[in-house]
């Protein structure tokens, strides 16, 4: 499937029907280059260091769990629909099951875990029903992660490039971004399912870098899931992990350079100030 580098409302109407699609594809050589960059920016502990990444030119945001604490809504939708069809003998899934098997995953991968013996079309219909329920819940209960708009203003004031990069289906991503008032903030929206491979592969982040024209060592990624962090690291970009729901150790094991509670966390602003100092020296 071809991948698309799609401008958001900054350049066109936020509806995908009204936008021209510029075609891009993450080539194997670009993947190899990005992985080499990742290795060149490792510390003794083996994780990427923000302080060695160079002045920031772009910030790449995940959507679910990063812009907004949406995992509880996904959990609620999966729990209710899985119980309804008698999954696990009708015993509701718990948060541990959700984190291990579902959180941050692409729908095709989730299908393989939950319904390995199901007809594919039947499994896709279940996922479609789940997304409809999620969007209904999101319209009622979606809130931004603490400090999000403060960070977005800082990014705008510094003139940094920005993109949203997500495994969420496009209707979900556009609903969340619009509900948070960020339709005009993001230059591009990259959907994992429209790339050659979704997260945890690096393709969606490589796509965003290509769209923005920014090298991986001049960007940072903000992510809340292990799959997303692995994707960012594999793309050669330092990743800040947000501990909205997933365990700290899970995010560190995935390769996060820094963990923050939310966008008000002093550790985030200290790291950004460090970057500003680096920029002033260059």
Catalytic positions? 62, 64
Asked if residue 200 has a cis previous peptide bond (ω within 30° of 0), the answer is yes
Residue 94 corresponds to which tokens in the numbers above?
A: 């718990």
Nearest Cα neighbor of 240 from 254, 227, 229, 226 is 229
The three-point CA angle 117-123-128 to 5° equals 165
Whole-angstrom CA distances from 44 to 49, 61, 131, 146, 169 are 10, 27, 42, 32, 38
Asked if 107 contacts 191 with a C-beta cutoff of 8 angstroms, the reply is no
The three-point CA angle 140-143-149 to 5° equals 145
According to DSSP, residue 163 is labeled E
List, in order, residues 6 or more apart from 5 with CB less than 8 Å away: 21, 22, 23, 24, 188, 190, 207, 210, 211
CA–CA gap between residue 233 and residue 38 (Å, rounded): 7
């Amino acid at each position: 499937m071809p991948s698309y580098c799609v401008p958001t409302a900054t350049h066109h109407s936020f509806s995908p029907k009204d936008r021209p699609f510029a075609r891009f594809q993450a080539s194997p050589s670009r993947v190899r280059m990005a992985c080499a960059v990742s290795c060149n920016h490792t510390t003794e502990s083996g994780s990427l260091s923000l302080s060695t990444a160079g002045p920031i030119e772009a910030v790449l945001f995940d959507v679910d769990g990063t812009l907004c604490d949406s995992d509880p809504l996904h959990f609620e939708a999966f729990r209710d629909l899985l119980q309804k069809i008698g999954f696990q003998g009708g015993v509701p899934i718990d948060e541990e099951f959700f984190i291990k098997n579902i959180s941050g995953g692409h729908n095709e991968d989730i299908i393989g875990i939950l319904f390995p013996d199901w007809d594919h079309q039947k499994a896709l219909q279940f996922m479609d029903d789940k997304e409809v329920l999620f969007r209904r819940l999101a319209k009622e209960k979606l809130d931004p992660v603490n400090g999000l708009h403060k960070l977005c203003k800082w990014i705008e004031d510094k003139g940094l490039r920005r993109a949203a990069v997500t495994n969420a289906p496009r209707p979900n991503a556009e609903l969340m971004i619009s509900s948070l008032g960020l339709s005009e903030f993001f230059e591009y929206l990259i959907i994992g399912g429209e790339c050659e491979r979704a997260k945890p592969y690096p393709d969606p982040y490589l796509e965003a870098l290509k769209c923005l024209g920014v090298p991986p060592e001049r960007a940072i990624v903000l992510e809340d899931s292990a799959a997303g962090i692995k994707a960012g690291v594999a793309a050669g970009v330092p990743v800040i992990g947000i501990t909205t729901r997933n365990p700290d150790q899970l995010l560190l094991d995935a390769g996060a350079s820094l963990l923050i509670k939310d966008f008000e966390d002093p550790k985030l602003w200290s790291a950004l100030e460090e970057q500003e100092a680096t920029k002033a020296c260059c």
